[in-house]
Structure 1
Amino acid sequence: MAVFTLQPTTTSFGAAYTNVNRIVRSLDVPGAAKRAGSWFGTWGTDVNVRSNPTTGSTVLTRLPAGVEVQVSCQEQGGTVVVDPYTNDWWAYLPLYGGYVTNIYLTSPDNQLPGVPLC
């Protein structure tokens, strides 16, 4: 399957990525199974996805600004401080096989609502 879109040239990569992802998620493909998890927006540029829920673990990839990511579970790990925020909760992103600090996810609380523990 291929999905093509036309978007204004002023659309950021993160916004275009999210727009296409929303279209694909909405498709009802016979025989396909939807992955369990909740979707959250991100903020920040080049947000690290790490192999474990600590800032000292290997960086697997970096997320562009403003994308939506699927979170399957969350757990406490290393404390991250991005002034004025402090958080030790990390979200597991199954599509990337790693963790991102909850600081960079759009949620009003340190722990993500409705997301189970890993």
Structure 2
Amino acid sequence: MLTRLRAGGKGVAAVVLAAAALLTPGVTTSAQAADSAPCTPDPDYPGTYRCPIWGSNVNLRSAPDQQAPVIATSPDGGWLRVLCQVKGGRADYGGYWHTWWVKTPAVGMAPSAYMSEIFLVGGGDDERDSGLPNC
């Protein structure tokens, strides 16, 4: 037990225990889930990314906040074209929550819009998308 070791030996024992935990199968160093479906660069629109989304007609808002006005909805097809991700207000949906939002590019007269990363495929609660830069 650590309590029976001399004070100088506690640090060594802690290192040994930490190393053993890292080598144990099934133990990881991260508490967050791995992003199983990160956004990828869009080959048709340089500087943008294609993000797989679940759901349809997901609200796109004027600012990265669940209380911001809805200005559009996501297109059908399971993908959303985005520029980057930004921290914003907390969004909750169906037991999931997030403070990361993706920003869409402005198109024609339509301004940029924001969608909660709750609706991106892969990842966990409040986990930023590993394929996107920050805004």
Scaled to the shorter chain, the TM-score interval is: 0.5 to 0.7
When normalised by structure 1's length, the TM-score is 0.64
Letter matched to residue 116 of structure 2? T
CA distance in 1, matches of 2:78, 2:56: 10
Is residue 104 from structure 1 mapped to residue 104 from structure 2 by the alignment?
no
CA distance in 2, matches of 1:94, 1:111: 19
Q: Partner of 1:42 in structure 2?
A: 53
Matches within 5 A, 1:1-118: 25=44, 34-95=45-106, 97-109=112-124, 110-118=127-135
Aligned-pair Cα RMSD in Å: 2.2
3-state SS in 1 of match to 2:130: coil
CA distance in 2, matches of 1:37, 1:68: 12
Q: CA deviation at 1:108?
A: 1.6
What is the count of residue pairs matched by the alignment? 88
After the TM superposition, list the runs of 4 or more consecutive aligned residues in structure 1 that deviate by more than 2 angstroms. Answer: 64-67
Rg bigger for which structure? Answer: 2
- Name the % identity: 28
When normalised by structure 2's length, the TM-score is 0.57
Which has the larger share of strand? Answer: 1
Q: Partner of 1:29 in structure 2?
A: none
CA distance in 2, matches of 1:60, 1:67: 19
Instruction: Note the residue ranges of structure 2 that are not aligned, 5 or more in a row.
Output: 1-41
Q: CA deviation at 1:45?
A: 2.7
